[in-house]
Structure 1
């Protein structure tokens, strides 16, 4: 767990027990309205999520809402388990990814062919999560430019490309961007989204233009953690490198 702002921590989730670096980093923040979890980790990581929430001094019952930045399995992987533990949790997501999150449409990256190549145990676990999506109901539909009355104000920024409904969250009070998968960190340097998992890279880079002029002290990436070395300058460099 890492403190990234006032009453804002990252939840470090490890793909393997022996891993030295976290593979996924949801964000937990809380204020007088209760706790908000941004993304939920990958399939099979519920126990890690629960432990991290406890280490932050909270319980799953303190979580009032989950904001899903997009549809990918490593972000929605524990939604159903969280709802089992606390049925009162609200699920918020962008309108363009809701049909996938709620099971009306297939995930764009977890194809039957890809599932078939997985080990049986992993395939069954993922299939269970896919099947459980139909029980997920969305409490709030998010749109580009929405201002969320949480944590001093949070701005929703629609950044399609990695998925159609991918969003980033900007916290102006902290000058902090929760970039989800729009930005990543590789070997200590801020990068764009991973090309192999980004169906429309050109659109993702275009979306990045919305981020370049935000007043930023830090960018927090779901894959890689916190980047605070002149993030605006680096974002502009990434955009320029794709022209």
Structure 2
């Protein structure tokens, strides 16, 4: 069996090549031998990477004809690795984080409203506990990002709709990476804690309309913070978290 790290790396490299047009949709991949030499890995690693990409519906093997690249529209829609590629090739310019904010705004504003109307005392305790952990995390960026995600997921749980959480679970790692990046800045972290406190207050007070606006304002501020980050440090862009492990 090939090493998992090598397989994952090759999977990512092949997806990147497909997005960049090296192997465009509809084309036939080179042979296992050629791919192995190109990537300096074994044929077994290539074979396992192709199997992974077939499972994700990126590739299709047509017996007697070769391994074909599928159109991006056929790829598994909720696979975190592929969501980066499906978002286009402008990730370095901040496109992916902004698209994540767009998706979150469409859903989480309504989720906050539902949570304020439906939350239980247990839900309120979970939301409060996540915020307290965020406040106590100091400069531990990973702990801050994790407690931030827990805060929002506790609100999703309080909304009482399992479909919402199921839709967002596949992008948890991408959202975590975006939050980890912004929470490294003290002023952004302070604004986030203040916004989370307002959201908690509206949910505690069972005020759905105020909860909607508190979440809307929080996500708008997050988007503005991202814009400022990429303006000040645009050459760094946003690293793909799924390729850094």
Query: TM-score scaled by structure 1?
Result: 0.21
More strand by share: 1
Q: Tell me: higher relative CO, structure 1 or 2? Use CA pairs within 8 A at least 6 residues apart.
A: 2
* Larger-gyration structure (1/2): 2
Query: Where is the helix percentage greater, Structure 1 or Structure 2?
Result: 2
